[in-house]
Structure 1
Amino acid sequence: MSSPQFSGAVQNRVLSHEDWKEKWETRNIGFHVANVHPLLAEFLNEMQDGRTQMNIFFPLCGKAVDMKWLADMGHNIVGVEVCEMGLREFFTEQDIPYTEEVVAGIPGAKVFKSTSGNISLYCCSIYDITDSVIGKFDGVWDRGAMVAVNPKDRQRYANVVLSLMAKDCRYLLVTFEYDPKLIKGPPFYVPESDIENFLGPSCTVKLLKKIDALTDRQKQWGLDFCFEKIYLLTPRL
């Protein structure tokens, strides 16, 4: 199937941080998944690659239950999310005691840390995050981030993630494929060409699975097809 082309309206669509905060405040959070994502469960071994106690990065983490699931396995979790409400709800709903601190070097940023020490969630813009603040990572789980950033910022977002990847990092990326002329997003359609253009020069890109993800809800949006795709990206040596 050839890749549909963006309409100008979609390509130029911009959601501000305030727009995302409003989604949380009005409970317009259909992007939140109540259970561990089945593609993460299926391909976790691809990320772990035999390793334990990994540092795993969750960009635009929201209150993903996947974070507790991986932390319970002994991994160290670091997430970034602009909406404080989502981060507080994560700790409350998962019954995890936490502390709150300011982040040196990022004006207005906070970090919420589990008292056990293996979950640190930063409340700030993804574009303010650097490896000097949060370090490098052995794994990245990107289920709702690449598809949520404004299309015009996709290269900027990719550069942030690349800067946080250790040399042996294994990055699981989930995207959607649909006709972007029919809905404006998010979730935004991410063509494979963008993954190759923005991440391919630094990483090998492997499609692990493509599944039919068309739901009744998406049919109501006017979509006649929707595929969910998961890729494994590994730094080129």
Structure 2
Amino acid sequence: MSAQENRVMALSEWEDRWKEGKIGFHRAQVHKLLEKNLDKVACGRKEIRFFFPLCGKSVDMKWLADMGHTVVGVEISEKGIKQFFEEQDLAYNEEAVPALPGAKLFKSADGKICIYQCDLFQFSSAVAGTFGGIWDRGGLVAINPRDREKYGSLLVSLMNTDCRYLLDTVEYNPELYKGPPFFVSEEDLTNMFGGRCIIELVEAIDSFEERHKSWGLDSLTEKLYLLSPKAQ
């Protein structure tokens, strides 16, 4: 990680990307790795509360809600949140969040999808409880590398004892591209979560695309992990 450890993206830069439409990280279809591995998270459970860190306007939220699950997301960009509800044709309400001054809560009319507009590191279980499932695609890989320990602690604090955390990462040569998305190694995950979670590599796939050439890369591997809390 040494090539990227000093790389810092300010929250304002992420907001600017949304304003300028520079959201190449967004996917218009449900993520194939989530579809394929949802049963590993569900473990036969119904009506799971899912957490989406840095959710953007992920269509995966609507997909899970349509199955009967509930979703809570956190996103800094108000534009991204409003686009989600508008593009999914969902009526929503906007509320203040007493526990988080300056934050807003956008909630679907049926209450199945709630998205908090705030800095992720202001969020906590005191705001919205804990969760039985986490889908992290575009969260950890977007967090500044120097904030990973803080990120890991937050995510663990949001996990129920039976939580299953599905985590999507990318690996490439970090000497060739400064990120984001940032390079995340298995060693990084062990440092972040190994003391508190069982970490299982579910799948590794070649996800190199033409657009990655413009980043200066010649290869990119996507890795999917399943994390579950160790018995305390």
TM-score range, shorter chain: over 0.9
Q: Please list every run of at least 4 consecutive aligned residues from structure 1 whose deviation after the TM superposition is greater than 6 angstroms.
A: none
Aligned equivalent of 2:62: 68
One of 62, 68, 73 as aligned partner of 1:79: 73
Q: Secondary structure, in 3 states, of the residue corresponding to 2:15?
A: helix
1:31-69 per-residue CA deviation (whole Å, 9 max, x = no partner) reads 000100000001000011100100000000000000000
Structure 2: 5+ residue stretches without partners: none
| In 1: Cα distance, 2:195 partner to 2:98 partner | 32
- Distance between the aligned counterparts of 1:222 and 1:106, measured in 2? 40
Q: Structure 1 residue 220: deviation in Å?
A: 2.3
Q: Structure 1 vs Structure 2: percent identity of aligned residues?
A: 50
- Give the deviation of 1:224 after TM superposition: 1.3
Q: How far apart are the structure 2 equivalents of 1:231 and 1:170?
A: 10
Given the alignment, which residue of 18, 34, 44 partners 2:38? 44
- C-alpha separation in 1, matches of 2:146 and 2:5: 7
| Partner residue, 1:142 | 136
Question: 1-side partners of 2:157 and 2:98: how far apart?
Answer: 19
5 Å matches for 1:1-237? 5-7=1-3, 10-237=4-231
Give TM-score scaled by structure 2 length.
0.98
Secondary structure of residue in 2 paired with 1:95: coil
Deviation at 1:201, TM superposition (A): 0.5
Deviations 1:98-157 (A, max 9, x none): 000000121100000001011100000110111011100000000000000000001111
Partner of 1:11: helix, strand, or coil? coil
> Normalising to structure 1: TM-score of the pair?
0.96
Other structure's SS at 2:142 match: coil
1:210-235, CA deviations, whole angstroms, 9 ceiling, x for partnerless residues?
00011011022221110000000000
